């Protein structure tokens, strides 16, 4: 597989380490009310779609960027890749 790194272009998937569902970037606040239930869901529950899936890949043998790769789990077609940091910043209301 080839992954279109937003900074480095097409890179072989062998350079990356896979983590999983991109929702892992939405970590609950451990000090908030009801944190235990929120964490139980965060840690253990994942969607496992047959189709489009956003997932985290780490460019371990490269520039050490975490990417969010959008991949079709049925065809393995890669529909896009973004820097996870930019996505997280945008989600937190910061600047990408």
The residues of the shown chain that bind another protein, judged by CB under 8 A, are 1-2, 12, 17, 19, 24-25, 27, 29-31, 35-36, 39-40, 42-44, 56, 58, 60, 64-66, 75-78, 83-85, 88-89, 92, 94
Report the nearest approach of another protein to the CB of residue 49 (Å): 18
Report the nearest approach of another protein to the CB of residue 70 (Å): 14
Contacts of 91 (CB under 8 A, 6+ apart): 25, 26
Report the nearest approach of another protein to the CB of residue 48 (Å): 19
Beta carbon nearer to another protein, 34 or 48: 34
Beta carbon nearer to another protein, 12 or 46: 12
Q: How far is CA 16 from CA 43, 50, 59, 65, in A?
A: 22, 22, 4, 10
* Cα of 82 vs its chain's centroid, Å: 9
Q: How far is CA 52 from CA 15, 28, 31, 60, 78, in A?
A: 22, 24, 33, 24, 9
């Amino acid at each position: 597989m080839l992954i279109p790194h937003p900074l480095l272009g097409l890179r072989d998937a062998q350079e990356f380490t896979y983590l999983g569902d991109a929702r892992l970037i939405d970590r609950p606040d451990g000090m908030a009310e009801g944190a235990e239930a929120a964490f139980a869901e965060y840690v253990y529950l994942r969607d496992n779609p047959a189709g489009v899936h956003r997932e985290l890949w780490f460019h371990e043998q490269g520039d050490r960027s975490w990417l969010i790769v959008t991949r079709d789990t049925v065809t393995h077609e890669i529909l896009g890749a973004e820097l996870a940091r930019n996505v997280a910043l945008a989600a937190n209301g910061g600047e990408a």
